[in-house]
């Protein structure tokens, strides 16, 4: 009896296990793009309707294939996501047998005005509004943001800043925002390139962007929540510029089930030097000035974000970041003052002690379905800047000079509220609307002290000031995107109302400026052939004076050079027009024209009585810029990837309100090349070069300029360890120019330290593949107007 029972029990268990095994099935498929090209490393998530079930995730292989094994019978759906593509969710299906499902992903485009065809990645895409350099699958080696920016066709990075097609009024955004209020050099050198997914050069911003700015926007899109599971990287670098420089950074992130989080931190101590040489004649006296100015900022940062996916349509999250930058440096200035009968020497040192702290907090809510997207975003920024600046005569000085001390503290608080809604009626028609409100409060306090006979410092109330700014900007916009066969168009209208109050406590005066303006933008595109496309674009924009230039302060760089604020500045308005011809998903030929009214212009003036030079931002009546660009890929050369191109640009600055009248104009011819090549032993090499005939940098007529840099890299340990050696400025001719206006007759040279060498190590751990798209790209452009150098 017992034996029969045992046999029956074994038979029952065997039958049950066989039934369970039979109920296990597989789900497989392939992910491709619209051109049927496979998409490797896409996220594939299997969602079950069973309560308390855990989603399963895999990533596609090199051929875009995915597979789930041993899946029980039940009701499921599949979600596919990848950076740069729209997330796609399948219809729910009942699994009763092995199943094969293929997916085609569409590009995640904010506009429908692309008229080119995707051929391969890495990809440079030209639309009517922007140029996109996608680095997600690029083999190009980069070590920092500076290297990445140089890869954008036509962008020139020098010690004097960034220039594009004859325009230096460029704004850099990080995920649509410029945080940290960093000076350009520190920003370019600190941000690791490994964190960057793509770069957008936005020449014709649509209505969804703030109207702020007159020149191009460089928007850096960072990787966010890019891999399934828990993963991260650690990095370190060491280099030599103006002494030994070094830095380190680390990040960790996790994407499991509905919770997605990441943390990052880092420290950097770069070094560089800016040398300024000015030789000018005032009457019969020659002033030969040399200023050597080293930079040694120490920067530490920590940040993080968390996203919670409530369900497949609703997400909440927040991000926060803290940055601290300190700098303790000394610049030296030596001026020989020569007359027909005498020689005097003005020798001073200028000490800088600066401490800057930035805290940001950014919660958001997002709703997203196949046809609707709603984003509610709040951004809070608190920035504090404390500066102590001493100017004093040193050994060798023969000119009487009273030592001076400046204490300048700045506090900035920015609150930004934004709502964006996008409705996709069909694949060919989309409507976007949104609103934004910004509240900006700044408090700048400048105190001047002069040294007395006992060695102490006396406060100079008449030359000190406290300047307060309260600004509110309200904006609302709408935009449509539509396509009809080979045609596509976008058109938008943005309304902005800004109310700015500036108060000087020293004079007890308040100035109020209210600006209400409509900002239209439009583009139209047509696909001429399978490879050839054409588009036209227009945008109208405003450039408000940055908060520092509105402060009625005098900033002394050395006894003969200063910068003076101008509280009477008006905003500048720019009309931008652009024509693009694209070939095989590449920019090919571009013509662009812009005209600016009341252009913000850094004006150099000279006082003949004291021989002092001062710089002040003023409004010019007219500024015009033409640029013509011809672009071509280098992939016709075996083994070479990259591009080469030519730029011809024309700049004109004019004003009849100055005495004498100002008229500056010049043509510039430039040639640029970016190329990468794989050397033996799997070493990747990259070359970057630019040569130009000369251009106008405001009032300065600059001579020819040239730069050549290289980088070499190799991956080890199953591609987890990346080693990069960068050799910058192998050949370099910096900023050499001349000012010849009214009573100024000066030769100017601005050069930094010469060769820069950096060795960088980056090690990745945890999940190796599986990329998830960046969900958000909000904007907070008020931060760009805080212009502060380290």
Q: How far apart are CA 59 and CA 649, in angstroms?
A: 46
- DSSP 8-state assignment for residue 50: S
- Which of 275, 158, 157, 166 shows the shortest CA–CA distance to 693? 166
- Selected residue with higher pLDDT from 184 and 234: 234
Q: How far apart are CA 523 and CA 592, in angstroms?
A: 13
Across 99-114, average pLDDT: 68
> Would you say residue 529 has pLDDT above 60?
yes
> Would you say residue 735 has pLDDT above 60?
yes
User: What pLDDT, on a 0 to 100 scale, did the predictor assign at position 349?
Assistant: 93
SS3 29: strand
Q: How far apart are CA 571 and CA 63, in angstroms?
A: 53
> Would you say residue 631 has pLDDT above 60?
yes
Whether 629 and 589 have beta carbons less than 8 Å apart is answered as yes
Q: How far apart are CA 368 and CA 314, in angstroms?
A: 7
- Which of 390, 475, 476 shows the shortest CA–CA distance to 433? 476
Highest mean pLDDT among 117-131, 196-210, 546-560: 196-210
- Selected residue with higher pLDDT from 663 and 219: 663
- DSSP 8-state assignment for residue 212: B
Average pLDDT, the chain: 82
- Per residue in 445-456, is it b (16+ CB within 10 Å) or e — as a string? bbbbbebeeeee
Whether 360 and 302 have beta carbons less than 8 Å apart is answered as no
* Structure tokens belonging to residue 12: 């029952």
Kindly indicate the confidence band of residue 118, based on its pLDDT and cuts at 50, 70 and 90: very low
* Structure tokens belonging to residue 425: 């009626």
User: What pLDDT, on a 0 to 100 scale, did the predictor assign at position 290?
Assistant: 92
User: What pLDDT, on a 0 to 100 scale, did the predictor assign at position 124?
Assistant: 67
- Which of 308, 227, 253 shows the shortest CA–CA distance to 58? 227
User: What pLDDT, on a 0 to 100 scale, did the predictor assign at position 177?
Assistant: 67
Which of 105-109, 204-208, 273-277 is predicted with the least confidence, judged by mean pLDDT?
A: 105-109
Kindly indicate the confidence band of residue 405, based on its pLDDT and cuts at 50, 70 and 90: very high
- Selected residue with higher pLDDT from 510 and 8: 510
* pTM attached to this predicted model: 0.78
Q: How far apart are CA 242 and CA 292, in angstroms?
A: 11
SS3 527: strand
- Which of 319, 83, 326 shows the shortest CA–CA distance to 179? 319
Q: What is the pLDDT of residues 459-475, one digit of tens each?
A: 998 888 888 889 999 99
- Which of 204, 229, 227, 230 shows the shortest CA–CA distance to 215? 204
Highest mean pLDDT among 51-65, 139-153, 762-776: 51-65
Across 244-254, average pLDDT: 90
User: What pLDDT, on a 0 to 100 scale, did the predictor assign at position 745?
Assistant: 87
Whether 299 and 271 have beta carbons less than 8 Å apart is answered as no
- DSSP 8-state assignment for residue 277: E
- Which of 629, 442, 653 shows the shortest CA–CA distance to 553? 442
SS3 content of the chain, % helix, strand, coil (to 5): 5, 65, 30
Residues paired with residue 708 on neighbouring β-strands, in sequence order: 689, 731
Identify the structural domains of the chain with CATH numbers, from first to last: 23-104 (2.60.40.10), 124-785 (2.40.170.20)
User: What pLDDT, on a 0 to 100 scale, did the predictor assign at position 436?
Assistant: 94
Q: How far apart are CA 99 and CA 487, in angstroms?
A: 39
SS3 386: strand
Question: Pairing state of beta strands 56-59 and 43-48?
Answer: antiparallel
Q: What is the pLDDT of residues 257-289, one digit of tens each?
A: 778 898 989 998 988 888 889 999 988 899 999
User: What pLDDT, on a 0 to 100 scale, did the predictor assign at position 498?
Assistant: 92
- Going 187 to 188 to 192 to 196, the CA torsion angle's sign is positive
- Going 161 to 164 to 170 to 171, the CA torsion angle's sign is negative
Whether 575 and 540 have beta carbons less than 8 Å apart is answered as yes
The DSSP secondary structure of 112-134, one letter per residue, reads: S---S---SSS-EEE-SSEEEEE
Kindly indicate the confidence band of residue 477, based on its pLDDT and cuts at 50, 70 and 90: very high
Length of the chain: 790
Q: How far apart are CA 103 and CA 395, in angstroms?
A: 75
- Selected residue with higher pLDDT from 38 and 788: 38
Whether 403 and 391 have beta carbons less than 8 Å apart is answered as yes
Could you give the count of Cα atoms lying within 13 Å of 591 in the half-sphere of its Cβ? 4
Across 66-77, average pLDDT: 88
Q: What is the pLDDT of residues 642-689, one digit of tens each?
A: 788 899 999 999 998 888 889 999 999 999 888 888 899 889 888 888
Percent of the chain with pLDDT over 90: 31
- Selected residue with higher pLDDT from 549 and 99: 99
Kindly indicate the confidence band of residue 769, based on its pLDDT and cuts at 50, 70 and 90: very low
User: What pLDDT, on a 0 to 100 scale, did the predictor assign at position 222?
Assistant: 72
């Amino acid at each position: 009896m017992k034996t029969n029972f045992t046999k029956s029990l074994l038979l029952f268990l065997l039958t049950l296990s066989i039934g369970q095994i039979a109920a296990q099935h597989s789900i497989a498929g392939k992910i491709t793009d619209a051109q049927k090209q496979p998409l490797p490393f896409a996220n594939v998530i299997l969602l079950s309707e069973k309560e308390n079930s855990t989603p399963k995730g895999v990533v596609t292989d090199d051929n875009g294939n995915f597979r789930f094994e041993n899946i029980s019978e039940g009701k499921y759906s599949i979600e596919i996501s990848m950076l740069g593509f729209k997330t796609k969710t399948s219809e729910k299906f009942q699994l009763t047998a092995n199943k094969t499902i293929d997916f085609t992903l569409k590009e995640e485009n904010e506009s429908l005005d692309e008229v080119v065809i995707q051929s391969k990645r890495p990809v440079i895409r030209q639309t009517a509004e922007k140029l996109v350099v996608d680095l997600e699958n690029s083999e190009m080696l980069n070590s920092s943001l500076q290297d990445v920016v140089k890869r954008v066709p036509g962008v020139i990075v020098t010690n004097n800043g960034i220039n594009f097609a004859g325009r230096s009024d460029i704004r850099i955004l990080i995920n649509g925002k410029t945080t940290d209020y960093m000076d350009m050099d520190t920003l370019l050198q600190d941000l690791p390139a490994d964190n960057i997914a793509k770069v957008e050069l936005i020449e014709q911003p649509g209505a969804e962007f703030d109207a702020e700015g007159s020149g191009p926007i460089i928007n850096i899109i960072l990787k966010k929540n890019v891999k399934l599971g828990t993963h991260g990287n650690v990095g370190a670098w060491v280099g030599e510029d103006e002494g030994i420089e070094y830095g380190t950074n680390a990040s960790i992130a996790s994407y499991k089930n509905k919770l997605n989080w990441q943390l990052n931190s880092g420290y950097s101590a770069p070094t560089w030097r800016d040398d300024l040489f000015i030789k000018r004649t005032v009457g019969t006296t020659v002033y030969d000035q040399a200023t050597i100015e080293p930079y040694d900022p120490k920067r530490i940062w920590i940040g993080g974000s968390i996203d919670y996916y409530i369900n497949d349509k609703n997400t909440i999250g927040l991000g926060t970041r803290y940055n601290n930058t300190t700098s303790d440096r000394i610049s030296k200035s030596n001026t020989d003052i020569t007359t027909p009968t005498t020689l005097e020497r003005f020798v001073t040192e200028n000490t800088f002690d600066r401490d800057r702290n930035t805290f940001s907090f950014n919660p958001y809510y997002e709703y997203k379905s196949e046809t609707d997207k709603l984003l509610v975003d709040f951004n809070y920024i608190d920035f504090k800047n404390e500066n102590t600046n001493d100017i004093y005569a040193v050994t060798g000085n023969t000119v009487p000079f009273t030592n001076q001390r400046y204490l300048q503290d700045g506090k900035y608080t920015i609150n930004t509220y934004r709502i964006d809604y996008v409705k996709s009626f069909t694949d060919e028609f989309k409507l976007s609307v949104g609103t934004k409100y910004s509240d900006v409060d700044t408090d700048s306090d400048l105190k001047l002290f002069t040294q007395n006979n006992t060695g102490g410092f006396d406060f100079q109330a008449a030359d000190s000031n406290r300047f307060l700014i309260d600004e509110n900007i309200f904006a609302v916009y709408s935009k449509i995107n539509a396509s009809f066969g080979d045609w596509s168009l976008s058109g938008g209208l943005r309304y902005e109302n800004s109310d700015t109050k500036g108060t000087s406590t020293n004079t007890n005066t308040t100035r109020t400026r209210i600006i209400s303006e409509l900002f239209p933008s439009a583009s139209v595109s047509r696909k001429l052939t399978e490879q050839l496309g054409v588009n036209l674009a227009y945008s109208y924009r405003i450039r408000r004076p940055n908060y520092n230039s509105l402060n009625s302060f005098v900033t002394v760089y050395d006894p003969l050079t200063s910068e003076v604020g101008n509280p009477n500045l008006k905003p500048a308005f720019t009309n931008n027009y652009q024509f693009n011809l694209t070939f095989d998903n590449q920019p090919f030929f571009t013509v662009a024209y812009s005209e600016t009214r009341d252009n913000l212009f850094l004006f150099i003036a000279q006082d003949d009585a004291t021989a002092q030079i001062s710089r002040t931002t003023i409004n010019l009546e007219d500024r015009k810029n033409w640029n013509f660009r011809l672009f071509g890929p280098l992939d016709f050369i075996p083994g070479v990837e990259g591009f080469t191109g030519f730029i011809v640009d024309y700049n004109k600055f004019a004003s009849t309100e100055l005495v004498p009248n100002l008229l500056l104009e010049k043509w510039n011819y430039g040639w640029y090349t970016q190329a990468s090549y794989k050397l033996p032993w799997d070493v990747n090499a990259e070359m970057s070069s630019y040569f130009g005939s000369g251009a106008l940098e405001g009032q300065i007529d600059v001579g020819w300029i040239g730069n050549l840099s290289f980088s070499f890299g190799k991956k080890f340990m199953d591609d987890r360890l990346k080693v990069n050696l960068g050799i910058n400025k192998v050949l370099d001719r910096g900023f050499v120019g001349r000012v010849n206006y009214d009573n100024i007759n000066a030769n100017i040279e601005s050069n930094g330290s010469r060769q820069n060498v950096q060795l960088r190590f980056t090690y990745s751990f945890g999940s190796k593949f599986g990329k998830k798209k960046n969900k958000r790209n909000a904007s907070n452009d008020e931060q760009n107007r805080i212009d502060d150098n380290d």
